[in-house]
């Protein structure tokens, strides 16, 4: 475990030494902030004209136009940029030979890299706590359980994207190729649920393969064991493939 933590620490240092991690963190915070302030302004306007508001927590965070749904779209675009150099950078620079010659196993390397992405994901989604805290101060009877359930869904989705990106990064020494391939893999997993809908057997298979909408119930406040196990299985599968 100590070796995994050392690899994760080194990966985090490398990640934050590059401008990509900082740019994504700043851009993510600004974009989510604009979405949040726009929703709050709309609620205030509706209140001023006497239209009234209901289910503020659900409308602000969940739903089709809520803040959490917007975050899902940003994660889909940002994660390939964050994961593209996890292993491909080691292959292209030749430092992978130093890792292989050191007393660490392939599983420790992969778990260390993934743990670094989990830590960065906590930092990235931690910015949402600022907006949730403000909403809790201005919204009567704010639903904290629903807000925390949505955060769990987003974090599991982020970890699944990170595991997929890590696996793709193991397949090539070119970071740009890894980023494009990860984006393609995520696009396939989002689209596969629409394939073969007229055939019951194929429909069942594509449903379990599809990652689209897996976090929607969590975002809406319902923690479903089916969705949680789906994310855990996807993460475990792609980490295993990365080690192999």
Q: What is the pTM of this model?
A: 0.86
pLDDT tens digit at each of 244 positions of the chain: 788 888 888 888 888 888 888 898 898 888 888 888 887 777 777 666 666 666 666 677 776 777 888 888 888 888 888 888 878 887 777 777 777 777 778 888 889 889 998 999 998 888 888 888 888 787 777 777 888 888 888 899 999 999 999 999 888 888 888 888 888 888 888 777 667 666 676 767 777 777 777 787 888 777 888 888 988 998 999 999 998 8
Structure tokens at 116: 């670094």
Residue partners of 57: CB distance under 8 A and separation at least 6: 135, 139, 142, 143, 146, 147
Structure tokens at 222: 């319902």
Grouping H, G, I as helix, E, B as strand and the rest as coil, residue 171 is coil
């Amino acid at each position: 475990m100590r070796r995994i933590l050392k690899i994760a620490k080194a990966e985090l240092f490398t990640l934050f030494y590059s401008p990509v991690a900082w740019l994504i963190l700043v851009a993510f915070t600004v974009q989510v902030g604009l979405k949040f302030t726009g929703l709050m302004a709309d609620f205030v306007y509706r209140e001023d004209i006497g239209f009234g508001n209901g289910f503020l927590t659900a409308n602000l965070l969940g739903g089709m136009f809520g803040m959490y749904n917007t975050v899902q779209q940003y994660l889909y675009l940002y994660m390939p940029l964050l994961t593209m150099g996890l292993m491909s950078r080691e292959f292209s620079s030749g430092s992978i030979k130093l890792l292989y010659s050191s007393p660490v196993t392939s599983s420790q390397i992969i778990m260390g890299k993934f743990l670094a992405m989990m830590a960065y994901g906590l930092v990235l989604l931690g910015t949402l706590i600022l907006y949730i805290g403000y909403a809790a101060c201005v919204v009567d009877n704010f639903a904290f359980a629903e807000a925390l359930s949505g955060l769990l869904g987003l974090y599991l989705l982020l970890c699944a994207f990170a595991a997929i990106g890590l696996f793709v990064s193991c397949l090539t020494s070119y970071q740009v190729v890894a980023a494009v391939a990860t984006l393609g893999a995520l696009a396939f997993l989002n689209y596969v649920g629409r394939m073969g809908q007229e055939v019951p057997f194929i429909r069942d298979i594509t449903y379990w393969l599809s990652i689209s909408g897996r976090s929607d119930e969590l975002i809406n406040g319902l923690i479903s064991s089916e969705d949680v196990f789906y994310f855990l299985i996807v993460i475990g599968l792609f980490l295993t493939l990365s080690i192999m």
